[in-house]
A and B are shown apart, each in its own frame.
Chain A
Amino acid sequence: TQLLEQSPQFLSIQEGENLTVYCNSSSVFSSLQWYRQEPGEGPVLLVTVVTGGEVKKLKRLTFQFGDARKDSSLHITAAQPGDTGLYLCAGLNNAGNMLTFGGGTRLMVKP
Chain B
Amino acid sequence: GAGVSQSPSNKVTEKGKDVELRCDPISGHTALYWYRQSLGQGLEFLIYFQGNSAPDKSGLPSDRFSAERTGGSVSTLTIQRTQQEDSAVYLCASSSGPRGSGAGDIQYFGAGTRLSVL
Interface residues of A (CB under 8 A from B): 4, 6, 31, 33, 40-45, 48, 86, 88, 90, 92, 95-104, 106
Contact = CB atoms under 8 A, between A and B. Distances in A.
Contact of A43 (B41, B43, B100, B105): B43
B71 interface: no
Interface residues of B, number: 22
A96 B40 contact: no
B110 interface: yes
11 contacts: A6-B42, A40-B112, A41-B112, A42-B93, A44-B109, A48-B105, A95-B100, A98-B99, A99-B45, A100-B45, A106-B40
B40 A43 contact: no
A90 B33 CA distance: 15
A96 B105 contact: yes
A95 B56 CA distance: 15
B42 A101 contact: yes
Given A45-B106, A99-B105, A101-B35, 16 more contacts: A6-B42, A40-B112, A41-B111, A42-B4, A42-B110, A44-B109, A45-B107, A45-B108, A88-B42, A88-B43, A95-B100, A96-B99, A96-B100, A100-B45, A101-B42, A104-B42
Given A40-B111, A42-B4, A101 B43 contact: yes
B107 to A, nearest CB: 7
B93 A104 contact: no
Q: Is the interface of B mostly helix, strand, loop or mixed?
A: loop
A104 B40 contact: yes
A104 B43 CA distance: 9
Interface of B: 4, 35, 40-45, 91, 93, 99-101, 104-112
Contacts of B45: 98-101
Contacts of A42: 4, 91, 93, 109-112
A99 B34 CA distance: 12
Contact of B105 (A6, A92, A100, A106): A92
A86 B91 CA distance: 15
Identify the interface centre among B42, B101, B110: most chain A CB within 10 Å of its CB: B42
Query: Can you list the 3 inter-chain pairs with the closest CB atoms, starting with the nearest?
Result: A42-B109, A96-B100, A101-B42
